[in-house]
Structure 1
Amino acid sequence: MPMRFGFISTYPPTQCGLATFTASLSGALTAGGTAESRIARLLESAPAAHRGREAVGDGVGGVGGVDIVAGDPRTAARSIDRLNRCDVVIVQHEFGIYGGPDGDEVLALLAGLTVPTIVVLHTVLTEPTAHQRIVLDGVLAAAGAVVTMSETAHRRLLTGYRVDPAKVGVIAHGAPESTFPVPVPAATPTIGTAGTDTETDTPTVLTWGLLGPGKGIEWGIEAMAHLKDLRPSIHYVVAGQTHPKVLLHQGEQYREGLQRRIERRSLTGSVHLEGRYLDTPTLASLVAAADVVLLPYDSTEQVTSGVLIEAVAAGKPVVATRFPHAVELLSGGAGIVVPHRDPVSIAEGLRRVITSPELAASMSRAAAAAAPDLRWSAVAKQYRFLAERLIAQAGVVAA
């Protein structure tokens, strides 16, 4: 009988990193009919079409799904009842996706589950508020196993929170299978500076993901202003819609501010904000065509970045600010890290990669070495192994 996985998470059509993560992991686990899954989708409010009644979707793997609406204990109770028919439940944790102060409604959900649970932590704060610490300590105590997606997050969790170390393990964020095999480019002609006769294709720098304050795109734009001397000129593409929560509360203020910055810096011909939705094949083509991926994030806390994982898995040289996940993943040579909010340093990092084909090729080779362990298929195997271990342990206890 196929293993039955339950999931508690945001989920498409919701647009956020956790929704994409869950859809990808569920798809990898159920590929080939080897497992089934049931999705309990987290919502801030009930969809208009389903208000007043249970919202049941098709789910994944032929099992179906339900919605959990923040502040509505009836939807939580229905979801718990269905999830307890699974063999194991994978719970995504981020403070902002559950109802209640600091998402404390997650504690009632975990308390109602009678099957083994795997909690996946997308954020581990170094300085949580008192209530955030209470919530996360409760989550850790209720979980059968806890997954962090970087060694940095693992260390931070063990040193900063009350948790049984035997519960905690590291499984990387996955990357699409379509990015493999990883191409390792041959050396390309060196880019010249203004006034030279160098002829080559226009180098493309790419940033992608949902847009909003904290992404640091403004520093990437400012960096382009420091690279105007390069010939041919660099083309910087920022691909991604505005994050739905940002759009709800702030509209397009951030994107419009970026566009004004582009115009003030006379970069309209070389910096492009691509705001339309890009399906998977279109985004894959855009990533494949990029010469460098730029992640100029403001956060100094970020221990997980799906875009960073996908960039490395695609064999692309990366220039990133020194957020923890970048420092860890790029230490093997797949990219370089630069100070936060420092367009001069960002520009220098990009210049090094773009003007040195040998450096770019060595970064791609380092990425290729890391890539196989980042495929969703490889990640799913680790989750399946962990689930089997928890189920076996639960059987021993029950006996």
Structure 2
Amino acid sequence: MTSVIKYYEGIDSVAVIGNYLPRQCGIATFTTDLVEGLSAEAPDIKCWAAAMNDKPEGYPYPEKVRFEINQNKLTDYSVASQFLNISQTDIVCLQHEYALFGGPAGSHLLKLLGDLRMPVVTTLHTILKDPAPEYRDIMCKLSELSDKLVVMSRKAADFLKDIYAVP
């Protein structure tokens, strides 16, 4: 198997934004496994997480979580983008599910993404087939602010193209 480190020459630091264990949800498990897997495959790359909190006190996170964002506090998104920009992060991998982010339809996330100065790869865990206008708007803006999109199925890719007009 070819190491991902060869594919990603020049990348020294990857930040993954999403829920993180011990928060109990599928995205937390996915994000934790992604960070641990990247760290194991490419130990020379600093891979860490910015965890989304759904409660003010947060969670007892492991050391891989270097930043916490209160999902309902818009100012946390600005501080997070500043932290990511000064931390010499080469790429951000965002785990997206509407309910993870505060604001109408998860709109707080757009503040963070709009202020970042590095590429963003967004994994879309849910793509709505018949979205309300505000959800459609958020998905379209999210796709514009992301350098790459990752989906879980061919059907999801078709939804992006046919429903949201994402090429």
TM bucket, shorter chain: 0.7 to 0.9
Counting only pairs closer than 5 Å after superposition, residues 227-306 of structure 1 correspond to structure 2 as none
**Equivalent position of 1:125 in the other structure:** 128
Counting only pairs closer than 5 Å after superposition, residues 204-219 of structure 1 correspond to structure 2 as none
Q: Does structure 2 conserve the Cα–Cα contact (< 8 Å) formed by 1:2 and 1:36?
A: no
Q: Does structure 2 conserve the Cα–Cα contact (< 8 Å) formed by 1:2 and 1:34?
A: no
Q: Distance in 1 between matches of 2:48 and 2:78?
A: 15
TM value normalised by structure 1:
0.37
Give CA-to-partner distance per residue, 1:53-82, whole Å, 9 cap, x none. xx9x6532xxx5111102323322332122
Aligned pair 1:104/2:113, yes or no?
no
**Equivalent position of 2:98 in the other structure:** 95
Equivalent residue letter for 2:148: A
Larger radius of gyration: 1
For residues 150 and 14 of structure 1, do their structure 2 counterparts lie closer, same or farther at Cα, with a shift above 3 Å needed?
Answer: same
Equivalent residue letter for 2:134: H
Aligned pair 1:42/2:52, yes or no?
yes
Q: How many positions carry a matched residue from both structures?
A: 155
Counting only pairs closer than 5 Å after superposition, residues 289-328 of structure 1 correspond to structure 2 as none
Q: Distance in 1 between matches of 2:90 and 2:152?
A: 23
**Equivalent position of 2:3 in the other structure:** none
**Equivalent position of 1:136 in the other structure:** 139
Post-superposition, which runs of at least 4 consecutive aligned residues in structure 1 deviate over 4 A? none
Q: Does structure 2 conserve the Cα–Cα contact (< 8 Å) formed by 1:91 and 1:117?
A: yes
Equivalent residue letter for 2:123: V
Q: Distance in 2 between matches of 1:36 and 1:156?
A: 34
Match of 2:63 among 59, 66, 70: 59
Q: Distance in 1 between matches of 2:123 and 2:156?
A: 11
Sequence identity, in percent?
A: 29
Q: Give 5+ residue unaligned stretches, structure 1.
A: 50-54, 166-399
Equivalent residue letter for 2:66: G
Q: Does structure 1 conserve the Cα–Cα contact (< 8 Å) formed by 2:13 and 2:91?
A: yes
**Equivalent position of 1:83 in the other structure:** 84
- 3-state SS, counterpart of residue 34 of structure 1: coil
- 3-state SS, counterpart of residue 55 of structure 2: coil
For residues 30 and 100 of structure 1, do their structure 2 counterparts lie closer, same or farther at Cα, with a shift above 3 Å needed?
Answer: same
**Equivalent position of 1:16 in the other structure:** 25
Q: Distance in 2 between matches of 1:113 and 1:153?
A: 26
For residues 48 and 19 of structure 1, do their structure 2 counterparts lie closer, same or farther at Cα, with a shift above 3 Å needed?
Answer: closer
In the TM superposition, what is the alpha-carbon distance from 1:48 to its structure 2 partner? Answer: 6.9
Q: Larger RCO: Structure 1 or Structure 2 (Cα < 8 Å, ≥ 6 residues apart)?
A: 2
Counting only pairs closer than 5 Å after superposition, residues 131-210 of structure 1 correspond to structure 2 as 131-163=134-166, 165=167
**Equivalent position of 2:16 in the other structure:** 7
Counting only pairs closer than 5 Å after superposition, residues 323-342 of structure 1 correspond to structure 2 as none
TM value normalised by structure 2:
0.84
Equivalent residue letter for 1:74: T
**Equivalent position of 1:72 in the other structure:** 73
After superposition, the CA RMSD in angstroms is: 2.0
Equivalent residue letter for 1:44: D
For residues 113 and 24 of structure 1, do their structure 2 counterparts lie closer, same or farther at Cα, with a shift above 3 Å needed?
Answer: same
Counting only pairs closer than 5 Å after superposition, residues 347-366 of structure 1 correspond to structure 2 as none
Q: Distance in 1 between matches of 2:11 and 2:101?
A: 29
In the TM superposition, what is the alpha-carbon distance from 1:147 to its structure 2 partner? Answer: 0.5
Equivalent residue letter for 2:52: L
Q: Give 5+ residue unaligned stretches, structure 2.
A: 1-9
